[in-house]
Structure formats: C-alpha cells, structure tokens
Amino acid sequence: MTETTGKEIIIEGVDTRELYGAKECYLQQIVAMHPKLKIVARGSSLKVLGAKGDVERFERQMAGLIAYYDRYGHISKEVVEQSFAAGFAEAAEQAHKSDKEVIVYGNNGVIVKARTANQRKLVDLYDKNDLIFATGPAGSGKTYTAIALAVRALRDKQVRRVILTRPAVEAGEKLGFLPGDLKDKLDPYLQPLYDALNDMIPPAKLQKFMEDGTVQIAPLAYMRGRTLDNAFVILDEAQNTTLSQIKMFLTRMGRNAKFIVTGDVTQVDLPHKSDSGLVRAMNTVKGIKGIGFVEFNKGDIVRHELVKHIVEAFDKQDESRTPKGGQGANKE
C-alpha cells in the first residue's frame, strides 16, 4: 500500500505573485503537471498531499524553481516545464547554454542582454575596470546596460547597494514651482532611472530595496560628503555636470566600488554649454589604469527605428551650422 503524506512548503524571500504568475498561470500549470497530488496555495505556503515519494520529489523540484527565480528574477511556462520535468539543475544548465549574453532576466519575460557591439564592450570593460565612461547618443542603451550590470552585481552579492544619480537639470524648459515634498520635486528628474529598475526588479522586491537603502536614487547634489563603499554607482546625464561636480562625484569612490558615468555630449542642458565638464574630465583621467572608455554611436540605437534617423538628421544640421575650423557653438 502506498504511503500517503502531507507537506507544507513555506516560500520565503520570493514574491508569490511573481512566482505564481499573472492570474496564477504558473501555479495552475504546476497543478496540472501533478494530477496525483493535491496542491493548495495559501499565501506564502503550498500544502501538498499525495504519495510520499511524489511529495518529496515535488518539494525538491519546487525548491529548484524557487532558486531559479531567486537567481534570475524570471519565470516562464518553459522554465516551469523544464524544472518539473528534468529538475532545476538541468533547467539552469540549459538556460546558461542558450542565454550566455543575458545580463539579467527582468519582469514579465523581459530579457536584458548586450544587443550591440558597444553594449557588449561595456559589459566586457566592467570585468576589467572599476570606473567606466560610456558616452553616446540617446537610445543607444548605455544607461540601461549600466543599470542591468548594477542589478546583476547586486543579485550576485558583488556589491551591497546600488546608487543611481543624475544632475537635476531641466531639459531646455523652466518648470517653475513644483508641488509636493522634496521627493515629489526631484522624482521627475530621476524617472528614467526608475523606469529601468522597474523593468528588471520585481515590484515588491524593488520597493523593499528602496525602503532599506539597498537601492538609492538621488540627485547628484546629495553625493557630496559621502564615501561609497561596496556600491555600484551610476552617474547618468553626466554632460550636465560641471567639472567641479564630476570631480566631486568621482572622488566619492570607496572600497569595492564600481562607478559608471554615462552621458551624451551633444545634449548639454546647462545654461552655458561650455560649462559641461564631462569631456574635460575624461581627457583628464585618460591613461589611468582601471578606467575604461566606450563611445556609443548611431549604430547602437535600440529604440524605435526612427530615432536613428532623427539623430542623423540633427547631426547633419549641427555640421552645417558649424563654421569651418570647428569652433561651433556646442564645441567644448
């Protein structure tokens, strides 16, 4: 006679809403794959009833699925099927073979990988340098790739926190008085960074990270006086910093820190474009060991296909306006 047993599996450290899928589609798939077991979900626990051997096998494979999600932040119907058909080890190995270029698995099936040569160069430079300057046009993926590297470093426990910053400079507009508290006033400047994080970290986990300081998003002015140890720090829109500001930022680097500076030297929003310190800072530190440089171009643009043509059109217009001798209004 087959021995029947019951088991309560406690799910810890994982958002069950993400693990079970939209409208519990993955949970329903799991239940359908185990007709001999009675599986009931109750909040953060699963109650399983059936033959002892089947229950024990289910527990091992469920642990594998949870470990997969905890590592990659991504679940799909294929992952569920592989995990319960062949076990977590085989599924994970298959994932490594098929997705070598993946940086992180994001939310809702988003796969973040290096999609262009310069994005791949940025990923490669990360392994060899503690400070990287990544410059290039809008839409080339420089900031998005940098944030993906930061999320991966946090996931792999290479750093203890991720700090994203940018100067609070208006893009050619005077917005005047903004209502709300200080956070409400600053959030519009930092929204692009929130957008990228929301693609890569489950909402409940991101909220927890924001609350406990594991992930911080702040204007550049808040960096003064800090020493950033065990941190992955990204300065975005660096073309809108003065030389003294970027010097202040670079000298925040502490022990076991990774810094990436991103910017587009053609989109300076400072009142006087010549005040931008990004190019001067790069020229100053060029040649120092441990600092890498990657320059993105129009071929790296991964937004709507029209963006590439728009950038080209504006570049041509700027070239036509630049006097012979190269002393254009935007030249530093």
Q: How far apart are CA 53 and CA 45, in angstroms?
A: 20
Q: Which of 59, 79, 99 is the last residue of a domain?
A: 99
Q: Is the pLDDT of residue 173 over 90?
A: no
- Asked if residue 48 is part of any domain, the answer here is yes
* Same domain assignment for residues 83 and 47: yes
* Same domain assignment for residues 74 and 129: no
- Asked if residue 330 is part of any domain, the answer here is no
Q: Which domain holds residue 90?
A: 4-99
* Same domain assignment for residues 56 and 85: yes
* Same domain assignment for residues 76 and 112: no
State the residue for tokens 């519009």: 188
Q: Flag the least confident range among 8-22, 144-158, 167-181, 254-268.
A: 167-181
Within 13 Å and on the Cβ side, how many CA atoms surround 256? 11
pLDDT in tens, 22-81: 889 999 999 999 999 999 998 888 999 999 888 988 888 888 888 777 766 667 787 788
**pTM beyond 0.85, yes or no:** no
Q: Which of 47, 72, 99 is the last residue of a domain?
A: 99
Q: Residue 48 belongs to a domain with what CATH number?
A: 3.30.1370.10
Confidence of residue 245 (pLDDT cuts 50, 70, 90): very high
* Same domain assignment for residues 87 and 112: no
* Same domain assignment for residues 227 and 124: yes
- Asked if residue 63 is part of any domain, the answer here is yes
pLDDT in tens, 101-120: 689 888 876 778 888 889 99
Q: Is the pLDDT of residue 175 over 60?
A: no
Kindly provide the b/e burial profile for residues 188-198, where b requires at least 16 CB atoms within 10 angstroms of the residue's own CB.
ebbebbeebbe
* Same domain assignment for residues 160 and 92: no
- Asked if residue 327 is part of any domain, the answer here is no
- Asked if residue 326 is part of any domain, the answer here is no
As for how many domains the chain has, the answer is 2
Name the nearest CA neighbour of 135 among 150, 153, 122, 120.
122
* Same domain assignment for residues 82 and 116: no
Q: Residue 152 belongs to a domain with what CATH number?
A: 3.40.50.300
Q: Which of 99, 130, 153 is the last residue of a domain?
A: 99
* Same domain assignment for residues 11 and 33: yes
Is residue 87 within 8 A of residue 61, CB to CB? The reply is: yes
Q: What is the largest CA-CA distance in the chain?
A: 93
* Same domain assignment for residues 233 and 125: yes
- Asked if residue 302 is part of any domain, the answer here is yes
* Same domain assignment for residues 162 and 47: no
- Asked if residue 22 is part of any domain, the answer here is yes
* Same domain assignment for residues 75 and 198: no
Listed in sequence order, the residues at least 6 apart from 234 whose beta carbon sits closer than 8 Å to its beta carbon are 143, 146, 147, 150, 162, 163, 164, 165, 193, 259, 260, 261, 262
